[in-house]
Structure 1
Amino acid sequence: MTPAADKTAHADQATELLIQNRTREMQLMQETLARAHMQERLHEAEHQRMGERLDRAARLMRKAERASLRARKALAVAVL
């Protein structure tokens, strides 16, 4: 192999390695982005579930307060 051909082959190998590295980096970037997006969606879902639990607890508390008021009124009527 001539020195010029050797340099060309070496440059081709270096270029191929560079392309492979860039391709790998892009794949890793895409995976990282997908992972971050999934984490964000999971966080949003958890936040929504927490809000729904708080809403349900508030509804149940109001229902219990109404039941308590009805019981006190019934007791007051029974005592008279």
Structure 2
Amino acid sequence: MSADQPTTDFTATPILNRSRDMHLLHEALARAQMEERLREADLQRRAVHVRAAQKMKRRAEMASLRARRALALAVMQ
């Protein structure tokens, strides 16, 4: 090496890049976990909606059956 060439230390840059990459990795992991929780919450909401729809369907079927029975009794009398 000659005296007029500056010495460069390349070891600091990879450490900074690695630190930045690790920080970004943690952010990506947190983002993925948040997205997964949002998906789970959406699935739970949909499941609640489906159960409510099934319950309303059963109630409507029972009401229809009662109405048919009442009509049949009225016609028979």
More helix by share: 1
> How large is the Cα RMSD of the aligned pairs?
1.6
Unaligned runs of 5+ in 1: none
Deviations 1:26-54 (A, max 9, x none): 01101110111111111111111111111
Match of 1:15 among 5, 11, 30: 11
Unaligned runs of 5+ in 2: none
TM-score calculated relative to the size of structure 1? 0.80
The ranges of structure 1 where at least 4 consecutive aligned residues each deviate by more than 2 angstroms after the TM superposition are none
Match of 2:72 among 48, 64, 76: 76
Aligned length: 73
